[in-house]
Amino acid sequence: GDLLVVNKPKGMVVHPAPGHYSGTLVNALMYHCGDSLSGINGVIRPGIVHRIDRDTSGLLIVAKNDTAHNILAEQIKVHSFTREYMAVVQGVIKEDGTVDAPIGRHKTDRKKMCVTTENSREAVTHYFVEQTYRNNTLVRLRLETGRTHQIRVHFASMGAPLAGDTMYGAPENEIGHHLLHCAECDFIHPASGEEIRLSAPPPQDFLDFCRSFIPADVLAKIFNYA
């Protein structure tokens, strides 16, 4: 095989790091796949072509060999591998737009990222407003780049942090973490050359939160489930 598709649950760390050496997605992949994962990122991140944060749920594509890994990484670089996310932000966003603002590590809090021109990399997020109610907006997002915490930082910089994202200025919510889900991935299969479109509905608590301000039939349409 060339690739694996994982619908990652929220709360699961993707690769081992200080404080999280077990119970990660990589540990699970190693257990299930043994040595049949690409070795490009070494033993810490075998097969991991793109990442999502611990508390972000959704689609993750994993390469099972180096050739597939290289092809997918190149697609990400030239933007032919597209990822679409759904997020609930704290605040009212009235119209679609794009955030084009470079991101680098925070000067004093090394766990955080921020919009900065110092030691930063280009970051571009396109967003589309799905539904606004009181002080929440459900947005669909398309990434051009995949910087660490990109979506979270870009919305915080607009004064509309992701709902529940206390690290970037939102008040705590009953779910206890930010509301962000990778809902769709489109790419060219590295072996067959065919176009692949994958989608995954958000987890139950994400949907429950949305139901508090979006009618059920509208929500079903937005997320493409009946």
CB contact set of 43 (below 8 Å; sequence gap of 6+): none
Pairing of strands 3-8, 57-63: antiparallel
205 carries an active-site annotation: no
Query: Residue type at 1?
Result: G
Q: How far apart are CA 115 and CA 25, in angstroms?
A: 29
Q: How far apart are CA 116 and CA 153, in angstroms?
A: 11
* Best CA proximity match to 143, nearest among 105, 110, 180: 180
Q: How far apart are CA 109 and CA 156, in angstroms?
A: 16
Q: How far apart are CA 29 and CA 26, in angstroms?
A: 5
Task: Name the residue with tokens 């766990």.
Answer: 111
Q: Which of 2, 53, 96, 205 is catalytic?
A: 53
Q: How far apart are CA 6 and CA 60, in angstroms?
A: 5
CB contact set of 74 (below 8 Å; sequence gap of 6+): none
Contact 89, 161 (CB under 8 A): yes
Q: How many CB atoms lie within 10 A of CB 171?
A: 10
Q: How far apart are CA 140 and CA 14, in angstroms?
A: 23
Q: Give the residue numbers marked as catalytic.
A: 53
